[in-house]
């Protein structure tokens, strides 16, 4: 299958690969997996006191489209507030990367990872507030 140029670019030069300290109060971690292809994705955000995403990191074991989707997601999330980041849709990712229909689930995975990371961050803070 032919990958789009943008997918290849993200695949060859993935942005923000790595790990943040998931114990930190400022960090939210999202872990998701796609049974269809066996891909696993970890997406993490570091959030400032003002609720802005200062840093985002990912590690994805999967196909080029899954890696590109998560790489793009971290790029888009940086500098956004949690609310803004929560608005990122899988369709936006799929469109930007020109994913073919059989690879749409990779962008779904990335959206779910974003939501999971934000949820994790919020859960941490609800608990520490309580």
Partner 1 sequence: MSGIVVDLTKNFFELFQLPVEFQVNQALLSERYRELQKSVHPDRFAGEGERQQRIAVQYAAYVNEGLETLKSPLKRALYLLELAGHPVDLENNTVMDTVFLMEQMELREAVSEVREHQDPEAELDRLMAQVDQSVTDYQNDFAFLWQKGDEASLKQASAVVQKMQFMVKLSNELEQLESELLDD
When asked if residue 118 is in the footprint of partner 1 (CB under 8 A), the reply is no
Cα-only R_g, the chain: 14
Least Cβ distance, residue 36 to partner 1 (angstroms):
4
Q: Tell me whether residue 106 is one of the annotated catalytic residues.
A: yes
When asked if residue 32 is in the footprint of partner 1 (CB under 8 A), the reply is yes
Query: Of 75, 99, 101, 102, which is closest to residue 88 (Cα–Cα)?
Result: 75
Secondary structure E strands in the chain:
27-34, 39-47, 53-61
Least Cβ distance, residue 122 to partner 1 (angstroms):
15
Q: Tell me whether residue 37 is one of the annotated catalytic residues.
A: yes
- CB-nearer residue toward partner 1: 47 or 62: 62
- CB-nearer residue toward partner 1: 17 or 52: 17
Integer angstrom CA distances of residue 59 from 2, 66, 103, 114, 125: 23, 10, 18, 13, 24
Cα 104–chain centre separation: 15
CB 60 within 8 A of CB 7: no
- CB-nearer residue toward partner 1: 59 or 80: 59
When asked if residue 86 is in the footprint of partner 1 (CB under 8 A), the reply is no
Residues binding partner 1 (CB under 8 A): 31-38, 40, 42, 59, 61, 105, 108-109, 112, 116
Catalytic residues: 37, 106
């Amino acid at each position: 299958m032919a990958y789009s140029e943008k997918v290849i670019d993200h695949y060859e030069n993935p942005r923000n690969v790595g790990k943040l300290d998931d114990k930190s109060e400022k960090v939210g971690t999202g872990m998701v997996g796609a049974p269809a292809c066996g891909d696993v994705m970890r997406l993490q955000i570091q959030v400032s006191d003002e609720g802005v995403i200062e840093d985002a990191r990912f590690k994805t074991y999967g196909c080029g489209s899954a890696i590109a989707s998560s790489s793009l997601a971290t790029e888009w999330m940086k500098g956004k507030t949690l609310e803004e980041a929560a608005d990122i849709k899988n369709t936006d990712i799929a469109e930007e990367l020109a994913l073919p229909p059989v690879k749409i689930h990779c962008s779904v995975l990335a959206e779910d990872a974003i939501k999971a990371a934000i949820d994790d961050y919020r859960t941490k803070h609800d608990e520490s507030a309580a």
